[in-house]
Structure 1
Amino acid sequence: MSNPNPNPNLKEPSFDRIHDTQEIYRVLLHAMSRPGLICELGVSMDGVDLPVGTSKAAAAIAFTLLDGEVTFAVQMYGQEGWTETIRRLTYCKLVDFADADYVFVEGNEELRFINQLQSQLRKGTLSSPEKSATVFIRVKHFVNNELLSGHQGCSLKLTGPGIQTETMCYVTGLSFAWIESRARLVEEYPLGVDLILYTENGELIAIPRTTVVEGVAGAWHM
């Protein structure tokens, strides 16, 4: 039987909304406990079936975290169908950035948008710091320092809880303005936001508000 809904539709022939989302949630928790460690959504995201050009990795994360009790906001290129599908299948409310629990954006956004978003994101309150936004930023790749030549992105040194000494992260497709904005957002700890950078192949790293980040922009541009 054909689908009567003409909008782009997220099909789930093999995505287990219980088992797979539990596995993805464990990956997210592990990433948050080990800032800068490259974790993988792996086969748990493979069953998500999307129209060509829409984000399978973002959908897997959304299915794991979104439901009718939380809110989300999106600015991702070419993801209008994705947004409507996620809203419809998770019953999560699509809201403005200022009211969102979860935010999905692009790593290579313009400086103006990043600065505007900074002033809107929920940072929590002193009595309820957990009432803050988690920001998922889609980037291109995580690479090691032997592969820097020819890439443009950010070189990040992370220190803080969950890191034994320091961790180096090399990210392509990430505007350094995100790192500068994040520094301003977390300067009044425990207020702040948590960032998770992810790629379309399901790799991700977490940068909680407790992590200290030192970075260099455009370090690999030839």
Structure 2
Amino acid sequence: MMTIDMTTLVPGFNDTVHDAQRVFRALLDALSRPGGIVAIDAALPDNHAMRDALAGRVPLAAFASLLALTDYSTPVFIEGENTVLGDALRFHASAPVTRDRRAAAFAYIDDARNMPALDAFAQGDSETPEDAATLFIRVPSLTEGEPLVWRGPGIAESRTVAIAGLTRAFWQQRAALTALFPCGIDCYFVAGGALIGLPRTTQVEVY
């Protein structure tokens, strides 16, 4: 069993139940309104200990979201040697950390430009599409990238979204996955205390 370094352990929620519920509602809001920026940190206004301990090592939006979503039954894949996040999820949520991308229910990607191919993660199947992975991808900005047009449920006609740090290859891979619906991958793009949700139902125009 992997040991947890208690000297660098990031504190969890102040109020485990209610904080997790607030974060979970914010995550649902992000997926129901694709392309809209949702402030996860607004759900945790008083958790200064968590913010201070993270200190830029992991975006607060990704940390709080995974803390709210994971438990002993949800393996998490963490790209790179991020022991801060792995230790916290194992300690606070009893979540197993896996190196097997296909086995992961959730994944945290720290470097969007060098992330694994999307088809390396579980996409579910026709009978159990809910078994697909959900990715949390760290990006440098939610507003300063190449503008792309998003369409689909939760969007009135269309929405232009400009997330920085994502490669053309990512968008091409993601476009290929949309043809497999109801299978596919749901993504959250995280920067600091905020995120944008991209459900598998959203079509993104790739030029």
TM over 0.5: yes
Structure 1 position 207, deviation (Å): 0.9
8 Å Cα contact 1:31/1:37 also seen in 2: yes
1:165 aligned to 2:157?
A: yes
Considering only aligned residues, what root-mean-square deviation do their CA atoms show, in Å?
2.1
- CA–CA separation in structure 1 for the residues paired with 2:94 and 2:67: 10
Higher strand share: 1
Question: Paired residues, what number?
Answer: 198
8 Å Cα contact 1:17/1:63 also seen in 2: no
Unaligned runs of 5+ in 1: 144-150, 217-222
Q: 1:180 aligns with which of 172, 176, 179?
A: 172
What is the CA deviation profile of residues 26-50 of structure 1, one whole-angstrom value per residue up to 9, with x for unaligned ones?
1110111111111111333451242
Report what 2:76 is aligned to. Answer: 72
Structure 1 position 6, deviation (Å): 4.8
8 Å Cα contact 1:154/1:175 also seen in 2: no
1:122 aligned to 2:122?
A: yes
- CA–CA separation in structure 2 for the residues paired with 1:195 and 1:64: 16
Report what 1:28 is aligned to. Answer: 27
Which has the greater radius of gyration? Answer: 1
Structure 1 position 51, deviation (Å): 4.6
Higher helix share: 2
Report what 1:90 is aligned to. Answer: 93
Query: What amino acid is the match of 2:134?
Result: T
Unaligned runs of 5+ in 2: none
- CA–CA separation in structure 1 for the residues paired with 2:146 and 2:90: 32
Query: What amino acid is the match of 2:90?
Result: R
What is the CA deviation profile of residues 54-107 of structure 1, one whole-angstrom value per residue up to 9, with x for unaligned ones?
21322211111011121110115x622221222222101111111000011035
Provide closer, same or farther for how the CA distance between residues 18 and 6 of structure 1 changes in structure 2, counting only shifts above 3 A. Answer: closer
- CA–CA separation in structure 1 for the residues paired with 2:122 and 2:86: 20
Structure 1 position 53, deviation (Å): 3.8
Structure 1 position 7, deviation (Å): 4.6
Aligned pairs for 1:44-83 (under 5 A) are 44-46=43-45, 47=47, 48-49=50-51, 50-55=53-58, 56-76=60-80, 79-83=82-86
Provide closer, same or farther for how the CA distance between residues 173 and 45 of structure 1 changes in structure 2, counting only shifts above 3 A. Answer: farther
Question: Sequence identity, in percent?
Answer: 28
Q: 2:198 aligns with which of 191, 196, 207?
A: 207
Aligned pairs for 1:99-118 (under 5 A) are 99-110=103-114, 113-115=115-117, 118=118
Structure 1 position 120, deviation (Å): 2.1
TM-score by length of 2: 0.86
Query: What amino acid is the match of 1:39?
Result: V
8 Å Cα contact 1:57/1:199 also seen in 2: yes
- CA–CA separation in structure 2 for the residues paired with 1:88 and 1:196: 23
1:136 aligned to 2:136?
A: yes
- CA–CA separation in structure 1 for the residues paired with 2:141 and 2:111: 11
Provide closer, same or farther for how the CA distance between residues 114 and 181 of structure 1 changes in structure 2, counting only shifts above 3 A. Answer: farther
TM-score by length of 1: 0.81
8 Å Cα contact 1:15/1:44 also seen in 2: no
